[in-house]
Amino acid sequence: MGSAPQQEATIHVTLTAGAAEQVRKVLEAEGAPAATAGLRVAVMPGGCSGFKYSLNIEDAPAGDDVVVESEGVRLFVDGFSGQYLNGVTIDYLVTMQSSGFTFDNPNASGGCGCGSSFAV
């Protein structure tokens, strides 16, 4: 008798239209397979506030990833990161000084000026 498959937790991660457009450009530039590729969104220990965000293009999700689709882009989230990313909105901003992805995280209790590090 096999064990019943584990039910994945529901994780809500949202890309804005601008962020999705940038991810699609990177996917295309890297020649990632359109049928399976996506953006890994992860949280890692480190950064000046305790945790930092990580974004990577990957050809396919890992076996234990939760796959979230937002604005037509697949997002791969591992179990550890999911607890910190639920409800996050990822945007892509361009200013006169810089451009890059930004994170609006309702789970964060604090952050720092760099915008890529947070505390819970």
Taking only Cα atoms into account, the Rg of the chain, rounded to an integer number of angstroms, comes to 15
CA–CA separation, 75 and 112 (whole Å):
25
Per-residue pLDDT of the chain (120 residues; tens, 9 = 90+): 544 443 345 889 999 999 999 999 999 999 999 999 999 999 988 766 678 889 999 999 999 999 999 999 999 999 999 988 999 999 999 888 888 898 998 877 655 554 444 444
Nearest Cα residue to 30 out of 51, 1, 9, 56: 56
Nearest Cα residue to 63 out of 14, 4, 8: 8
Grouping H, G, I as helix, E, B as strand and the rest as coil, residue 120 is coil
Structural domains in the chain, CATH included, are 13-119 (2.60.300.12)
| Cα angle value 83/103/43 (rounded, 5°) | 40
